[in-house]
């Protein structure tokens, strides 16, 4: 049996004093029970594992949502959803379909909800096999450049910073010969996906130009990245970094804003662990200003049912997720009937004690729609 996923029920009912303050607090899940939905999902924020944070950062992350911690073991002691039946594998080739990540077999079916089965025990020592630093990332240079630029606050980087990002995120390149830098430059010059911006003449620091992602090519780059991840990832080791899918700061609409999610009750998000960005009512559109860090406002949050988590029950996975080195975490959640589910890939280094799940008010939901569209690749 493939045990690469765990599914956690995120809600039902919100057990929080904040419940009444939210627009859909009575039963947010009903939003998706019928017909079109503007955003039937509750964005999830995954603060970094405390082990990967400075104490101050970890403390600050813990502090903003005292009610919303969602841990797993309490649930795992009882029930979980087995999504791993072959029958649950989506048979979709359409890249605009949200199922693109579900084809890997470790993800959830859209619906209906599979039966609950006990989560098998696992050997905690068997997971989290680090990818050797000598392993070359599965991503093309274009994807690496794309990720580097997308993670930058201004969505533009000098080539040197692109080097640095790659080195920092992919240990392989620390020891690789210098030829890859040539390849990076080669890609930047040759690929239409990237465009050069002259530095401000008044800027005395730095050399060369700034590089950014051409907005019209961003969807294609995203798709390549998804495909690469989908192909190589069999389960996720949840680690580090940035959100690629949070919409670019191009002053343009989100590239994937046309996806119809009305019949897709599951989503996949790539979210950062080290610098969580969470939609709030005050800051509903970090896609519009991704350079602005968003501090989740717990006043806007509704806690989910809290469940303990036993790390030993994290499921072993035989293959390391390339995303773990890319700095992305992969989340999947969906809802069916009155329950929401979070699917955590197995082999995770994510400290589930810190998982926080948010439900947003209507405005934030709407804003999150573009994020989810991006995540779903619907364009």
Partner DNA sequence: GGTAGATTAAACACCC
Partner DNA sequence: GGGGTGTTTAATCTAC
- Using the rule CB under 7 A, is 15 a contact of DNA? no
Q: Which is nearer to DNA, 116 or 224 (CB)?
A: 224
With binding defined as CB under 7 A, does residue 9 bind DNA? no
Nearer to DNA, 135 or 183 (CB): 183
Instruction: Tell me whether residue 34 or residue 177 sits nearer to DNA (CB atom).
Output: 177
Q: How many CA atoms lie within 13 A of 60 on its CB side?
A: 10
Residue 163, interface with DNA (CB under 7 A)? Answer: yes
Query: Which positions from 165 to 184 touch DNA by CB under 7 A, shown as an x/- string?
Result: ------------x-xx-xx-
Q: Closest approach of Cβ 187 to DNA, in Å?
A: 6
Which of 10, 159, 245, 273 lies at the binding interface for DNA (CB under 7 A)?
159
Distance of closest approach, residue 264 Cβ to DNA, in angstroms: 25
User: Which residue in 116, 128, 224, 362 binds DNA (CB under 7 A)?
Assistant: 224
The length of the chain is 379
Smallest gap from residue 145 Cβ to DNA (A): 9
**x-marked contacts with DNA along 114-153 as a string, rule CB under 7 A:** ----------------------x--xxxx-----------
Question: Does the footprint of DNA cover residue 189 (CB under 7 A)?
Answer: yes
Q: Which is nearer to DNA, 320 or 332 (CB)?
A: 320
Is residue 290 a contact partner of residue 213, using CB atoms and an 8 Å limit? no
Q: Give least dist CB 99 to DNA, A.
A: 18
Instruction: Pick the closer one to DNA by CB: 222 or 264.
Output: 222
Q: Which is nearer to DNA, 133 or 292 (CB)?
A: 133
With binding defined as CB under 7 A, does residue 160 bind DNA?
yes
Query: Which of 174, 186 has the CB closer to DNA?
Result: 186
Least separation in angstroms between residue 233's CB and DNA is: 15
Give residues in contact with DNA (CB under 7 A).
136, 139-142, 158-160, 163, 177, 179-180, 182-183, 185-191, 196, 207-209, 211, 224
């Amino acid at each position: 049996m493939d045990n690469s996923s765990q599914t956690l029920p995120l809600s039902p009912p919100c057990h929080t004093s904040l419940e009444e303050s939210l627009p859909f607090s009575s039963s947010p899940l009903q939003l998706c029970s019928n017909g079109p939905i503007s955003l039937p999902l509750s964005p999830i924020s995954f603060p970094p594992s405390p082990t990967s944070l400075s104490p101050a950062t970890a403390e600050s992350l813990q502090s903003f949502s005292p009610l919303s911690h969602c841990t797993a073991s309490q649930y795992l002691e009882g029930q979980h959803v087995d999504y791993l039946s072959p029958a649950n594998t989506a048979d979709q080739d359409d890249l605009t379909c949200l199922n693109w990540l579900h084809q890997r077999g470790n993800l959830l079916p859209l619906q209906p909800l599979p039966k609950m089965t006990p989560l098998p025990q696992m050997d905690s020592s068997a997971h989290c096999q680090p990818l050797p630093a000598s392993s070359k990332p599965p991503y093309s240079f274009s994807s690496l450049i794309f990720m580097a630029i997308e993670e930058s606050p201004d969505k533009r980087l000098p080539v040197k910073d692109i080097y640095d990002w790659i080195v920092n995120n992919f240990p392989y390149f620390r020891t690789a010969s210098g030829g890859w830098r040539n390849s990076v430059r080669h890609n930047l010059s040759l690929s239409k996906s990237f465009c050069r911006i002259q530095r401000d003449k008044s800027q005395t620091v730095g050399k060369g130009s700034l590089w950014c992602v051409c907005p019209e090519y961003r969807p294609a780059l995203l798709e390549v990245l998804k495909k690469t991840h989908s192909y190589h990832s069999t389960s996720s080791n949840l680690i580090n970094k940035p959100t690629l899918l949070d919409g670019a700061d191009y002053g343009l609409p989100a590239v994937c804003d046309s996806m119809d999610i009305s019949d897709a009750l599951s989503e996949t998000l790539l979210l950062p662990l080290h610098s969580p960005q969470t939609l709030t009512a005050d800051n509903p559109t970090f896609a519009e200003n991704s350079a602005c860090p968003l501090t989740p406002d717990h006043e806007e949050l509704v806690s989910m049912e809290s469940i303990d988590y036993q790390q030993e029950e994290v499921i072993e996975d035989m293959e390391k997720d390339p995303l773990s080195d890319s700095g992305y975490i992969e989340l999947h959640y969906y809802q069916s009937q009155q329950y929401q589910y979070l699917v955590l890939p197995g082999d995770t280094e994510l400290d589930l004690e810190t998982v926080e799940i948010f439900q947003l008010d209507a405005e934030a939901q709407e804003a999150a729609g573009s994020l989810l569209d991006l995540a779903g690749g619907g364009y």
